[in-house]
Amino acid sequence: MNFDPLPSQCLADQSLEIRLRGAIPDEPVVLRLCSRFMDGIVLSEATFRADELGLVDLTRDAPTSGSYDGVDPMGLFWSRAPVTGERAASLQALLDDPMTAVLVAESADGSRSTSHRIRRVFEGPEVTSRPVNEQGLVGVLLQPPGPGPHPAVLVVGGSGGGLGGSQQRASLLASHGFSALALAYFASEGLPAALDRIPLEYFGTALQWLAVQPGVAADRLGVMGSSRGGELALLLGAHFPTIRAVVAYVPSGIVWGAYPATGHSAWTLGGEEIPFAETMTLEEWGKALAEGKVSEDSFDRSLVPLRDPEYAQRASIPVERINGPVLMISGTDDKLWPSFELSEFAVRRLREHRFPHRFEHLCYAGAGHNIAWPHGPTTMPRSVHPVSGVAIDMGGTPRGDAHARLDSWWRMLAFLGSALNDAQARRERAPTDTKE
C-alpha cells in the first residue's frame, strides 16, 4: 500500500488530497493521523473500505467508522483528539517535531502498513520575520517575498495576552502576500500585565511604524483581531482613518471592561477611559428577568446591554467611522460571549448610518468562539483561560468549527485582498489638486 504523492511540508492552512492505493479490493483499511498539540498528543482514526481497484480516496469516500463521518478530505486533521496513557506513550517516538503530523494506513488485520510525515508550517518559503522592540512596541513583523510594496495588516490577539494566535495568523497572511505585524499589547515584557486601560495611542504608534517599513504599502493598511481583539479591531478602525479594511473574528460592537474585571475600561484614548458596558450583577439579572428583558435560558448576561438601547448606545463602537470595508465572523454556538448578537449590533449600526463601504457578517451555525485558520483540531472546546485561570467553554461542535474555519479563512483572504486593492484604486481615482 502506498499514498499518492503528498508534500513533506506545506502551509498549515493547505488542504490535501489523500489517496491510498494498493489495498486489497473491498478490504477495510484504517487511517490514523497523530501529532503533538499543546502539551499532549492528539490522534484521529477512521476506517474505510477500499474500492474494487484497491483505492481509498478521502476526497470521495466516507469512513465506515471513526473520529468523523461523511466525506471530508481533511476530516482526519480537524477530528484529532487528545490521547493519554499507553496510547500516547506508544506515539511519542513518532512525534519528535511538534509541527509534524504522521499519517498511517494499516490493513484491518495489521499485516500491511504505510506512513507519511507532513510538516505543517505557518511561514511559507522566503517569508521573513523579525522581532519588533522599538518605540515601545512588542511584536513580530512578517514579510512576504519580493520587494513590494505589499498591503499590510496589523494583527492583534484577544484576552489571552501576548502574541497568542496573532503570530500564526500574521505568518499565514505573509505567506499569502501581505506584510503583517503581530502585535502584543499586554502580558508581555515591558507591557501592562492585564487587559486594563490599554491606550489606543499604542496602536496608532504601531500603525505609523508599520507604514514606513520597507516593502509596505502605507496607503493599504488593514487590521485583524479575534475576540477582545475583534472588539479592538473595530475600535481601531473607527479611530484611525489610515486603516482601510477591518477583519473582526467573534467580535463585539460594544466596548467592554477590563479583563479580569477591575471596574475600569479595557481601553483609553487621550488619557480618558472609553465608555464600556458591564455584565449585570446577579441582583440586576434578577430584576431584568422580572421585567421580562431577558429569558432564563440566556447563557450570558452580556446580552442584557443589547436590550437596553440607551445603555448600549453609551458603549457602542462608532463603526460607521471606519474608512473602508468591514468583515465580521461569528458562530451561533459561541459560549464564551454572544459574538453573533454582538456582531449584529455593529451591523445594525452600519446600516442605520448608511455606511458607504461594503460590509459583511459571516455567521456559522454550530460554530463556537474558536474560529481561526483551517485544519487545526476542533475537538477541545473547553480549557482554562491563560490569564484569569477560569474554566472556559468555547462552544461549537467539532464539525461546525471545522467548517467555519475552512470557509471563513479563504473568504477572509479574498476580502482583504479585494478591500486593500480597492483602497489603492480609490486613491488612484481621487481627483488631484491643480493650480491654474
Task: Determine the average pLDDT of the residues in 98-105.
Answer: 94
With bands split at pLDDT 50, 70 and 90, how would you rate the model's confidence at 434? Answer: very low
pLDDT of residue 206: 98
Listed residue (24, 31, 25) closest to 3, CA to CA: 31
Q: What is the 3-state secondary structure (H, E, C) of 163-231?
A: CCCHHHHHHHHHHCCCEEEEEECCCCCCCCCCECCEEHHHHHHHHHHHHCCCCEEEEEEEEEEECHHHH
Q: Which CATH architecture has domain 2-121?
A: Sandwich (2.60)
Residues in the chain, total: 436
Question: Same CATH topology for 2-121 and 128-425?
Answer: no
Residue 267: name the closest of 123, 275, 328 by CA. 275
Q: What is the pLDDT of residue 305?
A: 64
pLDDT at 111: 87
pLDDT at 280 over 70: no
| Superfamily of segment(s) 128-425 | Alpha/Beta hydrolase fold, catalytic domain (3.40.50.1820)
pLDDT score at 289: 76
Nearest CA-CA partner of 413 in 158, 200, 175, 238:
175
User: pLDDT class for 436, splitting at 50, 70, 90?
Assistant: very low
Amino acid letter, residue 92: Q
100: left (phi > 0), else alpha (psi -120 to 50), else beta?
beta
Lowest pLDDT segment from 187-196, 210-219, 288-297: 288-297
Distance, in Å, from the CA atom of 331 to the CA atom of 364, rounded to the nearest integer, reads 5
* 195, 201, 205, 207 alpha-carbon torsion, rounded to 10°: 80
pLDDT in tens, 34-83: 999 888 899 999 999 999 999 999 999 999 999 999 999 999 999 999 99
Candidate from 178-192, 226-240, 411-425 with smallest mean pLDDT = 411-425
pLDDT digits (tens, 9 = 90+) for 198-257: 999 999 999 999 999 999 999 999 999 999 999 999 999 999 999 999 999 999 999 999
Spell out the domain ranges in the chain: 2-121, 128-425
Residue 351 has pLDDT above 80, yes or no: yes
Q: What is the largest CA-CA distance in the chain?
A: 88
Say whether pLDDT at 433 is over 50: no
Q: Is the sign of the CA dihedral 108, 109, 113, 117 positive or negative?
A: positive
Q: Predicted confidence band at 429 (pLDDT cuts at 50, 70, 90)?
A: low
How would residue 392 be classed by pLDDT, with cut points 50, 70 and 90? confident
The DSSP line for 119-151 is EEESS-TT-EEEEE-STT-EEEEEE-SSS--EE
